[in-house]
Amino acid sequence: MSSMANSLSKEELRERMLDVAGYVLTSARALYREPLSYGPMRLVDTLEKVLVLMHAAGIQDETVSEAMTVIREHRPLAMTDPDSFAAALDQAILQLVRVTLEESASKA
């Protein structure tokens, strides 16, 4: 928490979190009239907004950033080749699972 205090004030953090919450809510509402492929893209956009917020708060996680890089590289395929985009999401998920398992094992 101390690194957060050094990076963002409580009010700045609150404002940014409200921006993300607003994005999530408006995205959820828009999904009713959008193509199905927009759902995964909106969730990835939300993840990116959360990562930017974490970085601004002084919290960094290299593994999540690497997973996001994989997703960004394949994002254009979401509309043209959904299976390839899904495979990129699977790759990013596996990266996160591996780190989670490694961290759990090291704490045990």
Over the stretch 61-94, which tens digit does the pLDDT of each residue have? 888 788 888 888 888 888 889 899 899 899 988 9
Mean pLDDT of 27-43: 89
What pLDDT, on a 0 to 100 scale, did the predictor assign at position 1?
A: 39
Distance CA 48, CA 54 (A): 10
The rounded distance, in Å, linking the Cα atoms of 80 and 51 is 26
Cα–Cα distance measured from residue 52 to residue 48, given in angstroms and rounded to the nearest whole number = 6
What lies within 8 Å, CB to CB, of 65 at 6+ separation is: 51
Quote the percentage of the chain above a pLDDT of 70.
94
Give me the pLDDT at residue 95, please: 86
Q: What is the mean pLDDT of the chain?
A: 85
pLDDT at 52 over 90: no
- State residue 35 phi and psi, 5-degree precision: -60, 150
